[in-house]
């Protein structure tokens, strides 16, 4: 006998059955709708693929020449060196008594920068000055006595021999006076050698000797490699940037438009510079490349110090002419040229430069502004299409591209 409980179970079963039948019908509709959508998409993709293959097979496009230019920048490294550098030395033996400058101080031409101890020379000068004064007084007395003797000898009151003797003494005294004056000049010149002055306007780079340091032409005031025998200090003037330019770009630098120098530690500082001279010799860089040193005058030397590393930007002279696509240039019989659009007639051209896929060619009688040239022979590779993956070869390509086996 069916009870109320059995009746409820039967109703629930019939409800679930109807729901499952409805879901099955809905899934079939969704499945067929998905298949139709996939088929439509594949048809559109196939149509586009066929059209793209037909159009790209030729690879022909026509372009027109137009005026264009290329602006290139050369980046090099360099060092700051002084244009003039002098080691102030001592020409005599002595001790440094005073220094009037410090490292980094500016100096003027003729300014006293150091003194050697010249006390002994002063004493000799004072003795020699007294000796000269005495000789001059003696010469005055001898000349007065010779004058009286000459007057008396004319009157016959004194013999002529006394006159000759007086003149001989005057001659000897004048010779002694001239010798003493020469010695005094030598002593004063020696005293000047004790005064060290700056030979030009500049800056004190390094000081090698200090008060109390003994210097002489035969000893070194410092163990530094930059000091020579008897060097007291080094003075420099007119800082310059020196670059070792590879031989291949020397003329590009000489014909450059603008040059700027920046400290390696702060590239925000940009100081204009100009070429001062190209050195007449070749050096070998660390990379075993022949290079030619070039000196650059700096507009403002305040941000730099000798030996400082710098970055140098050299703006090359612009290259102007007719701009064409680089891949459109072809070679024939060893010459560069362009193919005229449609007819594909070859015209030789002179390529002046190339940058970012654009080449600059020189205008000629045939190649003028607006000349239409062809890019045939250099079609861009098209992306793989669905047809590429049909067949055994297509499957291999797919496996190579995906690095997996899509059939698994």
- Residue range 280-291, pLDDT digits in tens: 989 888 888 889
Token readout for 248 is 């291949």
Q: Give the residue-averaged pLDDT of 336-356.
A: 89
Q: Please, are residues 359 and 369 in contact by the beta-carbon 8 Å criterion?
A: no
Fold adopted by 237-315: Elongation Factor Tu (Ef-tu); domain 3 (2.40.30)
For helices 160-193 and 119-154, the axis angle rounded to 10 degrees is: 160
Q: pTM of the predicted model, to two decimals? A: 0.53
Question: How many CA atoms, within 13 angstroms, populate the side-chain half-sphere of residue 38?
Answer: 6
pLDDT digits (tens, 9 = 90+) for 98-131: 899 999 899 999 999 998 876 677 777 788 888 8
- The number of residues in the chain equals 408
d(C-alpha 225, C-alpha 235), whole Å: 16
Q: Which residue would you say has higher pLDDT here, 260 or 224? A: 260
In the block, tokens 């654009």 appear at 358
Which pLDDT band holds residue 378 (cuts at 50, 70, 90)?
Answer: very low
**Rg for the chain, CA atoms, rounded:** 50
Residue 147's CB is within 10 A of a number of other CB atoms, namely 11
Token readout for 363 is 């205008």
Domain map (residue ranges) of the chain: 4-57, 62-71+319-374, 118-193, 237-315
Give strand pairing partners of 244: 293
The answer on pLDDT for 271 being more than 80 is yes
The answer on pLDDT for 383 being more than 60 is no
Which pLDDT band holds residue 56 (cuts at 50, 70, 90)?
Answer: very low
The helix (run of H) or strand (run of E) holding residue 99 is: strand 94-99
In this predicted structure, what is the pLDDT of residue 225?
45
Which of 274, 247, 257 is CA-nearest to residue 73?
257
Give strand pairing partners of 293: 244
The answer on pLDDT for 141 being more than 80 is yes
pLDDT digits (tens, 9 = 90+) for 26-49: 665 665 666 566 666 655 555 554
Q: Please, are residues 230 and 221 in contact by the beta-carbon 8 Å criterion?
A: yes
Highest CATH level, class, for 62-71+319-374: mainly beta
In this predicted structure, what is the pLDDT of residue 311?
95
Q: Please, are residues 259 and 314 in contact by the beta-carbon 8 Å criterion?
A: yes
List the Cα angle 116/121/127 in 5-degree steps: 160
Which of 288, 385, 304 is CA-nearest to residue 49?
385
Does residue 240 sit in helix, strand or coil? strand
- C-alpha pair distances (Å), 25 with each of 18, 21, 33, 35, 60: 11, 6, 12, 16, 54
Percent of residues, the chain, with pLDDT higher than 90: 27
Q: Please, are residues 217 and 91 in contact by the beta-carbon 8 Å criterion?
A: yes
Token readout for 386 is 């669905």
The answer on pLDDT for 55 being more than 50 is no
Q: At 308, phi and psi to the nearest 5?
A: -75, 140
What does the DSSP 8-state code read for residue 270? -
């Amino acid at each position: 006998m069916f009870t109320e409980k059995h009746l409820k179970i039967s109703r629930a079963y019939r409800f679930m059955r109807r729901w499952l039948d409805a879901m099955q019908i809905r899934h079939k509709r969704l499945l067929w709708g998905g298949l139709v959508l996939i088929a439509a998409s594949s048809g559109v993709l196939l149509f586009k693929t066929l059209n793209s293959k037909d159009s790209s097979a030729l690879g022909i496009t026509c372009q027109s020449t137009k005026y264009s230019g290329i602006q290139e920048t050369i980046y090099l490294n360099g060092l700051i060196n002084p244009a003039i550098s002098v080691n102030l030395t001592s020409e005599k033996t002595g001790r440094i008594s005073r220094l009037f400058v410090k490292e980094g101080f500016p100096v003027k031409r003729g300014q006293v920068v150091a003194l050697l101890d010249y006390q002994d020379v002063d004493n000799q000068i004072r003795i020699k000055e007294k000796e000269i004064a005495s000789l001059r007084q003696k010469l005055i007395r001898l000349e007065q006595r010779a004058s009286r003797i000459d007057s008396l000898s004319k009157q016959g009151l004194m013999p002529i021999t006394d006159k000759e003797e007086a003149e001989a003494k005057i001659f000897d005294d004048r010779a002694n006076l001239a010798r003493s004056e020469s010695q005094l000049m030598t002593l004063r010149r020696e005293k000047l050698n004790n005064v060290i002055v700056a030979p030009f306007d500049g800056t004190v780079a390094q000081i090698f000797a200090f008060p109390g340091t003994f210097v002489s032409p035969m000893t070194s005031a410092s163990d530094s490699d930059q000091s020579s025998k008897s060097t007291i200090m080094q003075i420099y003037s007119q800082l310059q940037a020196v670059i070792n330019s590879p031989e291949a770009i020397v003329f590009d630098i000489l014909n450059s438009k603008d040059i700027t120098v920046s400290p390696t530690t702060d590239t925000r500082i940009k100081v204009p510079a100009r070429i001062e001279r190209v050195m007449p010799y070749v050096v070998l860089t660390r990379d075993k490349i022949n290079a030619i040193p070039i000196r650059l005058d700096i507009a403002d030397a305040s941000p730099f110090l000798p030996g400082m590393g710098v970055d140098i930007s050299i703006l090359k002279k612009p290259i102007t002419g007719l701009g064409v696509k680089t891949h459109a240039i072809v070679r024939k019989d060893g010459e560069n040229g362009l193919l005229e659009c449609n007819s594909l007639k070859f015209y030789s051209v002179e390529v002046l430069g190339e940058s970012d896929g654009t080449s600059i060619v020189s205008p000629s009688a045939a190649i003028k502004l607006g000349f239409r040239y062809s890019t045939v022979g250099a079609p861009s590779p098209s992306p793989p299409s669905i047809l590429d993956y049909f067949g055994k070869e297509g499957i291999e390509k797919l496996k190579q591209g995906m690095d997996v086996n899509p059939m698994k």
